[in-house]
Amino acid sequence: MHDLANIVDHTLLKPEATAADLRALVAEADELGTFSVCVSPSKVVYVREAIPAESRLKVAAVVGFPSGAHRSEVKALEARLAVEDGADEIDMVIKLSAALAGRTDLVEEDIRAVREAIPRAILKVIIESAALTDEQIVAVCQAVERADADFVKTSTGYHPAGGASVHAVELIRATVGDRLGVKASGGIGTRSKAEAMVAAGADRLGLSGTRAVLEGAPTAGIAVVGAY
C-alpha cells in the first residue's frame, strides 16, 4: 500500500473545508504515507500549521482553479502568496480556451508567468487532457516544457469532459519523456485504475478518496490536482 501512497497528493478542495477538516487531512496523509496534501491556496497556512515538525509531508496548492480562465497576473500572484504561506508545489490550470484555439504561445506565456513568480517551487500544469485532441495534448505538453514547468497534470477532476485516462497519460509521457513528471488526476476511484495510471507513465497521482483507493475499495471520490 505504501509504495503507491508515496506518490499520492492527498487532496481536499471542497470550498466548505474547515480547519478541522484540514487537520484531519494532514493526519490521514501522515498515517497513509502520502507524498503531499493538496489544498486551495487560502488553506495552505492552516495545513502548514497542522503538519508535525518531524513530518516529511509536502504541501501543494492549486492556482487558477478550476477554470484556468484567470488573468496570468492573478495566477502568478496566487502562486507566489501560496508559496509564501508554505506551499512546496503549485498545480496551475492552463488557459484551456487558448489551447483549444491552437494558441500554445498564450498557454506558454501563462505558464511562464507563474514559473517566474515561484522559481524554486515545483510547478505542475493541469491541461484538462479529456477536453483536448491528441494533437492538442502534444502541443500543450511542448508548451509546458518550454515554459520550464516540472510536471504535466492531466485534469482538475471538475471538467465535464472527464478526468485522467490511460491513453492521455501514455501520450503525455511519450511527449515529455523523462524530462518532466506526469501527474494523473481526476476520477481515479479504484486501486486498479491508480495502478494502471502508474503503468502508463504517471509518477504522481491526485486522489481525494485516497484511503479507499489504497485499500482496494471502490470510491466515488474525485481525484483532483489535481482534485485535484
**Contact yes or no for 99/140 (Cβ under 8 A):** yes
The one catalytic residue among 75, 124, 183, 193? 183
Name the DSSP letter for residue 43.
Answer: G
Catalytic site includes residue 58:
no
- Give yes or no: 21 in active site: no
Residue 91 among the catalytic residues: yes
What are the Cα distances from residue 123, in Å, to 98, 119, 150, 214?
Answer: 20, 9, 5, 25
Catalytic hit among 43, 95, 153, 193: 153
C-alpha distance from residue 142 to each of 45, 105, 164 (Å): 33, 10, 19
Cα atoms in the Cβ-side hemisphere of radius 13 Å centred on 56: 6
Q: Which among 9, 91, 110, 150 is annotated as catalytic?
A: 91
Query: Are 34 and 6 spatial neighbours (Cβ–Cβ below 8 Å)?
Result: yes
State how far the alpha carbon of 81 is from the alpha carbons of 44, 98, 209, in Å. 10, 25, 28
Residues belonging to the active site: 91, 153, 183
